Structure 1
Amino acid sequence: MSSVNAPSLCDNEVSAEQIAALDAHLLDLDTANRLAEIFKALSDPTRLRIIGLLMEHEVCVHTLEAALSMSQSAISHQLRVLRQMNLVRFRKEGRHVYYALDDEHVELLFAQGLLHVEHG
Protein backbone atom coordinates (compact mmCIF):
# COMPACT_ATOMS: atom_id res chain seq x y z
CA MET A 1 0.00 0.00 0.00
CA SER A 2 3.04 2.24 0.33
CA SER A 3 3.66 4.72 -2.46
CA VAL A 4 7.32 5.26 -1.54
CA ASN A 5 8.61 3.02 -4.34
CA ALA A 6 5.56 3.13 -6.59
CA PRO A 7 6.12 3.88 -10.26
CA SER A 8 5.14 7.32 -11.49
CA LEU A 9 2.15 7.61 -13.78
CA CYS A 10 2.06 10.74 -15.87
CA ASP A 11 1.82 10.90 -19.63
CA ASN A 12 0.24 13.26 -22.11
CA GLU A 13 -1.79 10.30 -23.32
CA VAL A 14 -3.24 8.09 -20.62
CA SER A 15 -3.51 4.43 -21.57
CA ALA A 16 -6.28 2.03 -20.60
CA GLU A 17 -3.69 0.05 -18.64
CA GLN A 18 -2.76 3.13 -16.58
CA ILE A 19 -6.42 3.83 -15.83
CA ALA A 20 -6.96 0.18 -14.85
CA ALA A 21 -3.91 0.31 -12.55
CA LEU A 22 -5.28 3.42 -10.84
CA ASP A 23 -8.85 2.13 -10.65
CA ALA A 24 -7.64 -0.89 -8.70
CA HIS A 25 -6.62 1.48 -5.87
CA LEU A 26 -9.33 4.12 -6.13
CA LEU A 27 -11.54 4.36 -3.05
CA ASP A 28 -15.24 4.34 -3.72
CA LEU A 29 -16.95 7.58 -2.72
CA ASP A 30 -18.78 6.12 0.29
CA THR A 31 -15.56 4.69 1.75
CA ALA A 32 -13.70 7.94 1.09
CA ASN A 33 -16.45 9.92 2.86
CA ARG A 34 -16.43 7.60 5.88
CA LEU A 35 -12.64 7.79 6.12
CA ALA A 36 -12.75 11.58 5.84
CA GLU A 37 -15.23 11.66 8.76
CA ILE A 38 -12.80 9.60 10.87
CA PHE A 39 -9.96 12.00 10.08
CA LYS A 40 -12.24 14.96 10.78
CA ALA A 41 -13.02 13.52 14.22
CA LEU A 42 -9.28 13.08 14.80
CA SER A 43 -8.51 16.64 13.70
CA ASP A 44 -9.31 18.13 17.11
CA PRO A 45 -6.40 18.39 19.62
CA THR A 46 -8.66 17.75 22.61
CA ARG A 47 -10.04 14.57 21.08
CA LEU A 48 -6.50 13.40 20.32
CA ARG A 49 -5.48 14.07 23.92
CA ILE A 50 -8.45 12.02 25.10
CA ILE A 51 -7.46 9.16 22.80
CA GLY A 52 -3.91 9.40 24.14
CA LEU A 53 -5.22 9.04 27.69
CA LEU A 54 -7.32 6.04 26.67
CA MET A 55 -4.43 4.21 24.98
CA GLU A 56 -3.58 2.16 28.06
CA HIS A 57 -6.54 2.48 30.42
CA GLU A 58 -10.27 2.70 30.64
CA VAL A 59 -10.90 6.13 32.18
CA CYS A 60 -13.83 7.66 34.05
CA VAL A 61 -15.25 10.96 32.78
CA HIS A 62 -14.36 12.65 36.08
CA THR A 63 -10.73 11.60 35.67
CA LEU A 64 -10.70 12.97 32.11
CA GLU A 65 -12.05 16.28 33.45
CA ALA A 66 -9.24 16.50 35.99
CA ALA A 67 -6.50 15.38 33.60
CA LEU A 68 -7.54 17.84 30.88
CA SER A 69 -8.67 20.67 33.19
CA MET A 70 -11.94 20.94 31.30
CA SER A 71 -15.60 21.00 32.27
CA GLN A 72 -17.71 17.85 32.22
CA SER A 73 -19.88 19.29 29.45
CA ALA A 74 -16.85 20.04 27.27
CA ILE A 75 -15.44 16.54 27.82
CA SER A 76 -18.86 14.98 27.17
CA HIS A 77 -19.16 16.86 23.88
CA GLN A 78 -15.79 15.56 22.67
CA LEU A 79 -16.59 12.02 23.81
CA ARG A 80 -19.92 12.15 21.96
CA VAL A 81 -18.10 12.90 18.71
CA LEU A 82 -15.66 10.05 19.32
CA ARG A 83 -18.53 7.67 20.17
CA GLN A 84 -20.46 8.60 17.02
CA MET A 85 -17.42 7.66 14.94
CA ASN A 86 -16.98 4.36 16.85
CA LEU A 87 -13.56 5.47 18.07
CA VAL A 88 -14.42 5.03 21.77
CA ARG A 89 -16.89 2.89 23.70
CA PHE A 90 -18.30 3.36 27.17
CA ARG A 91 -19.75 1.42 30.04
CA LYS A 92 -21.68 2.59 33.08
CA GLU A 93 -20.93 1.45 36.58
CA GLY A 94 -23.33 3.08 39.03
CA ARG A 95 -23.11 6.83 38.47
CA HIS A 96 -19.74 6.60 36.76
CA VAL A 97 -19.19 6.31 33.01
CA TYR A 98 -15.94 4.76 31.83
CA TYR A 99 -14.47 5.20 28.35
CA ALA A 100 -12.01 3.07 26.39
CA LEU A 101 -10.81 2.90 22.81
CA ASP A 102 -13.27 0.97 20.68
CA ASP A 103 -10.69 -1.43 19.24
CA GLU A 104 -7.04 -1.89 18.33
CA HIS A 105 -7.51 -0.08 14.99
CA VAL A 106 -8.02 3.21 16.81
CA GLU A 107 -4.84 2.61 18.80
CA LEU A 108 -2.89 1.78 15.63
CA LEU A 109 -4.23 4.83 13.79
CA PHE A 110 -3.28 7.11 16.69
CA ALA A 111 0.14 5.48 17.17
CA GLN A 112 1.02 5.74 13.45
CA GLY A 113 0.02 9.41 13.35
CA LEU A 114 2.09 10.09 16.46
CA LEU A 115 5.11 8.28 14.97
CA HIS A 116 4.79 10.37 11.82
CA VAL A 117 4.67 13.62 13.81
CA GLU A 118 7.61 12.63 16.00
CA HIS A 119 9.63 11.50 12.97
CA GLY A 120 9.44 14.81 11.15
Structure 2
Amino acid sequence: MNESNSFLDLNANTLESLSELFTAIAAPTRLKILYLLIQRQSTVFQMAYYLQMTPSAISHQLRELRRWELVSYFKRGKYHVYFCNSHNVEIILEKSIQLIKIKKH
Protein backbone atom coordinates (compact mmCIF):
# COMPACT_ATOMS: atom_id res chain seq x y z
CA MET A 1 0.00 0.00 0.00
CA ASN A 2 1.26 3.44 -0.87
CA GLU A 3 2.37 5.37 2.24
CA SER A 4 0.96 8.60 0.83
CA ASN A 5 -2.53 7.07 0.95
CA SER A 6 -4.84 9.66 2.54
CA PHE A 7 -6.53 6.97 4.64
CA LEU A 8 -3.33 6.57 6.61
CA ASP A 9 -3.39 10.29 7.37
CA LEU A 10 -6.83 10.22 9.04
CA ASN A 11 -6.79 11.42 12.62
CA ALA A 12 -8.95 10.09 15.44
CA ASN A 13 -11.52 12.88 15.08
CA THR A 14 -11.96 12.23 11.37
CA LEU A 15 -12.30 8.49 11.93
CA GLU A 16 -14.90 9.10 14.64
CA SER A 17 -16.86 11.43 12.34
CA LEU A 18 -16.67 8.91 9.52
CA SER A 19 -17.98 6.21 11.82
CA GLU A 20 -20.87 8.48 12.89
CA LEU A 21 -21.68 9.26 9.26
CA PHE A 22 -21.84 5.58 8.34
CA THR A 23 -23.99 4.93 11.40
CA ALA A 24 -26.37 7.68 10.26
CA ILE A 25 -26.58 6.20 6.77
CA ALA A 26 -26.83 2.61 8.02
CA ALA A 27 -30.30 2.87 9.55
CA PRO A 28 -32.65 1.00 7.18
CA THR A 29 -35.28 3.74 7.23
CA ARG A 30 -32.69 6.40 6.39
CA LEU A 31 -31.40 4.27 3.54
CA LYS A 32 -34.93 4.01 2.17
CA ILE A 33 -35.37 7.77 2.45
CA LEU A 34 -32.04 8.46 0.74
CA TYR A 35 -32.83 6.01 -2.05
CA LEU A 36 -36.23 7.64 -2.56
CA LEU A 37 -34.76 11.15 -2.59
CA ILE A 38 -32.11 10.14 -5.10
CA GLN A 39 -34.96 9.17 -7.41
CA ARG A 40 -37.34 12.08 -6.76
CA GLN A 41 -37.90 15.14 -4.64
CA SER A 42 -40.59 14.51 -2.03
CA THR A 43 -42.46 16.08 0.84
CA VAL A 44 -42.64 14.37 4.22
CA PHE A 45 -46.20 13.28 3.41
CA GLN A 46 -45.16 11.79 0.07
CA MET A 47 -42.29 9.91 1.71
CA ALA A 48 -44.64 8.64 4.41
CA TYR A 49 -46.99 7.35 1.71
CA TYR A 50 -44.24 5.73 -0.42
CA LEU A 51 -42.50 4.15 2.57
CA GLN A 52 -45.68 3.23 4.50
CA MET A 53 -44.60 5.18 7.58
CA THR A 54 -45.98 8.05 9.61
CA PRO A 55 -44.97 11.61 8.75
CA SER A 56 -43.61 11.93 12.29
CA ALA A 57 -41.30 8.94 11.80
CA ILE A 58 -40.07 10.34 8.48
CA SER A 59 -39.41 13.76 10.04
CA HIS A 60 -37.42 12.16 12.82
CA GLN A 61 -35.18 10.37 10.32
CA LEU A 62 -34.82 13.46 8.14
CA ARG A 63 -33.42 15.41 11.10
CA GLU A 64 -30.43 13.09 11.24
CA LEU A 65 -29.93 13.17 7.48
CA ARG A 66 -30.10 16.99 7.51
CA ARG A 67 -27.60 17.08 10.37
CA TRP A 68 -25.11 15.39 8.05
CA GLU A 69 -26.21 17.58 5.13
CA LEU A 70 -27.16 14.50 3.14
CA VAL A 71 -30.56 15.97 2.36
CA SER A 72 -31.84 19.51 1.97
CA TYR A 73 -35.20 21.06 1.29
CA PHE A 74 -36.85 24.05 -0.29
CA LYS A 75 -40.26 25.47 0.45
CA ARG A 76 -43.13 25.02 -1.97
CA GLY A 77 -46.10 26.80 -0.47
CA LYS A 78 -46.52 25.47 3.03
CA TYR A 79 -44.59 22.25 2.33
CA HIS A 80 -40.90 21.41 2.56
CA VAL A 81 -39.74 19.50 -0.50
CA TYR A 82 -36.72 17.33 0.27
CA PHE A 83 -33.99 16.19 -2.08
CA CYS A 84 -30.70 14.34 -1.87
CA ASN A 85 -28.06 16.98 -1.27
CA SER A 86 -25.08 15.36 -2.94
CA HIS A 87 -24.29 13.12 -5.86
CA ASN A 88 -21.72 11.56 -3.52
CA VAL A 89 -24.52 9.93 -1.54
CA GLU A 90 -25.66 8.16 -4.69
CA ILE A 91 -22.10 7.02 -5.38
CA ILE A 92 -21.66 5.69 -1.81
CA LEU A 93 -24.89 3.72 -2.02
CA GLU A 94 -24.13 2.44 -5.52
CA LYS A 95 -20.63 1.27 -4.54
CA SER A 96 -21.98 -0.35 -1.38
CA ILE A 97 -24.55 -2.31 -3.39
CA GLN A 98 -21.77 -3.45 -5.72
CA LEU A 99 -19.79 -4.72 -2.70
CA ILE A 100 -22.82 -6.65 -1.47
CA LYS A 101 -23.29 -8.26 -4.89
CA ILE A 102 -19.63 -9.26 -5.00
CA LYS A 103 -19.84 -10.77 -1.52
CA LYS A 104 -22.86 -12.88 -2.48
CA HIS A 105 -21.01 -14.48 -5.41
TM-score computed with the length of structure 2 as normaliser: 0.86
Q: CA deviation at 1:29?
A: 1.3
CA distances 1:26-74 after superposition (whole Å, capped 9, x unpaired)? 4111211111111010110000011111112211211100011111110
TM-score computed with the length of structure 1 as normaliser: 0.76
Structure 2 unaligned runs (5+)?
A: none
Structure 1 residue ranges, 4+ long, deviating more than 4 angstroms after superposition:
none
For residue 55 of structure 1, give the secondary structure of its aligned residue in structure 2. Answer: helix
One of 97, 105, 109 as aligned partner of 2:92: 109
- Structure 1 residues 1-120: aligned runs within 5 Å: 6=1, 21=3, 25-120=8-103
Distance (Å, rounded) in 1 between the aligned partners of 2:96 and 2:20: 16
Letter in 2 for 1:54: L
Number of residues paired by the alignment?
Answer: 102
Distance (Å, rounded) in 2 between the aligned partners of 1:64 and 1:23: 40
For residue 26 of structure 2, give the secondary structure of its aligned residue in structure 1. Answer: coil
Structure 1 unaligned runs (5+)?
A: 1-5, 8-20
Distance (Å, rounded) in 1 between the aligned partners of 2:81 and 2:99: 29
Greater Rg over alpha carbons, structure: 1
Distance (Å, rounded) in 1 between the aligned partners of 2:34 and 2:5: 34
For residue 56 of structure 2, give the secondary structure of its aligned residue in structure 1. Answer: helix
